[in-house]
């Protein structure tokens, strides 16, 4: 990034499973790679020419919400534990956006991932165009940072390679375990739980993707994830499962 550019990288949001429960949260991969910050509803701002070039907007500490849904890092934790140069409550971002973007030629931002944030940015840019204020200087170029971050992520550190190897080793061991334990009369779900329990037990954070455990005709379905049918004697069982 040159000094006249700025990047806005949003975190993932939680997805409601039903009523007051959510699916287990997984961070956006690019946001995770750049920040290591594990919580939803955050935004990273990277501004090379600022005195404090790396800002994290995060959910503030809230005792009542933390009692219900777990601890938060808050603005203090974002700086102390995740090395942001500064941090603010996510509630401030909309008000700060014009100040952040003003004076930059290029904005790095990926559209069609966070629709609410898309609208905030588009409304700001269209509003500036209509007002044509001489004191306002919004970005005139918007570029998707995904290809750049993708190229960065291709180059692994020694530590990253070791983690990838460990995840692969755990997955291999889980596949071998399934080969040893599977037998006619078992349900596909039992094979899935056997493998995933083993992966978690050996230190994986979970599965890398939804496991495919397909017996018989189910083995011909490319993305079969129901994993709920009994296995008959003579069935071929197809397994596509990995550790994260």
- The pLDDT, as a whole number, for residue 236 is 96
Which 8-state DSSP code applies to residue 232? Answer: P
Q: List domains and CATH numbers for the chain.
A: 5-154 (3.40.350.10), 158-240 (no CATH)
pLDDT in tens, 27-60: 999 999 999 999 999 999 999 999 999 999 999 9
- Positions of the chain with pLDDT lower than 70, given as ranges: 130-136
124 CA to centre of own chain: 26
Query: Dihedrals φ, ψ of 188, to 5°?
Result: -55, -35
- The pLDDT, as a whole number, for residue 73 is 98
Mutual angle of helices 115-131 and 93-101, in 10-degree steps: 50
Q: Which of 193, 204, 194 is nearest to 170 (CA)?
A: 204
Per-state percent for the chain, helix, strand, coil, to nearest 5? 40, 15, 40
Q: How many CB atoms lie within 10 A of CB 194?
A: 18
Task: Pull the structure tokens for residue 138.
Answer: 């919004």
Sheet holding 86-89, edge to edge: 86-89, 54-58, 43-46, 5-10, 106-108, 141-143
- The pLDDT, as a whole number, for residue 129 is 72
What Rg do the C-alpha atoms of the chain give, in angstroms? 23
User: Are 48 and 1 contacting, i.e. CB atoms less than 8 angstroms apart?
Assistant: yes
- The pLDDT, as a whole number, for residue 126 is 85
Q: Helices marked H in the chain — which ranges? A: 29-35, 63-69, 74-80, 93-101, 115-131, 146-154, 158-181, 188-201
Rounded Cα–Cα distance for residues 133 and 210 (Å): 51
- ∠ CA 43-27-108 to the nearest 5 degrees? 40
Residue 193 to residues 39, 116, 143, 198, Cα–Cα distance (Å): 27, 37, 43, 8
Task: Pull the structure tokens for residue 158.
Answer: 């020694």
- Helices (runs of H) and strands (runs of E) counted in the chain: 8, 10
Task: Pull the structure tokens for residue 219.
Answer: 């083995």
The 3-state DSSP class for residue 157 equals coil
Task: Pull the structure tokens for residue 218.
Answer: 């189910």
User: Are 144 and 109 contacting, i.e. CB atoms less than 8 angstroms apart?
Assistant: yes
- The pLDDT, as a whole number, for residue 131 is 67
């Amino acid at each position: 990034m040159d000094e006249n550019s700025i990047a806005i990288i949003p975190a993932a949001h939680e997805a409601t499973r039903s009523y007051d429960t959510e699916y287990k949260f997984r961070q956006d991969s690019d946001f995770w790679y750049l920040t290591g910050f594990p919580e939803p509803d955050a935004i990273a701002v990277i501004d090379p020419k600022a005195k404090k070039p790396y800002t994290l907007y995060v959910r503030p500490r809230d005792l009542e919400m933390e009692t219900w849904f777990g601890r938060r890092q808050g603005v203090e934790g974002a700086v102390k534990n995740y090395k942001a140069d500064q941090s603010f409550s996510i509630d401030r971002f909309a008000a700060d956006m014009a100040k952040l973007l003003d004076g930059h030629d290029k904005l790095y931002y990926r559209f069609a991932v966070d629709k609410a944030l898309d609208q905030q940015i588009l409304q700001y840019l269209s509003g500036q165009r209509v007002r044509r204020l001489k004191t306002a200087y919004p970005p005139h170029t918007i570029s998707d940072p995904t290809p750049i971050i993708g190229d960065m992520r291709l180059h692994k550190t020694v530590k990253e390679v070791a983690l990838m190897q460990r995840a692969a080793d755990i997955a291999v061991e889980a596949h071998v375990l399934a080969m040893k334990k599977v037998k006619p009369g078992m349900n596909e779900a039992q094979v899935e739980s056997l493998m995933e329990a083993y992966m978690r037990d050996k230190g994986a954070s979970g599965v890398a993707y939804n496991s495919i455990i397909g017996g018989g005709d189910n083995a011909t379905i490319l993305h079969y994830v129901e994993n709920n049918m009994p296995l008959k004697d003579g069935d071929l069982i197809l397994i596509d499962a990995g550790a994260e």
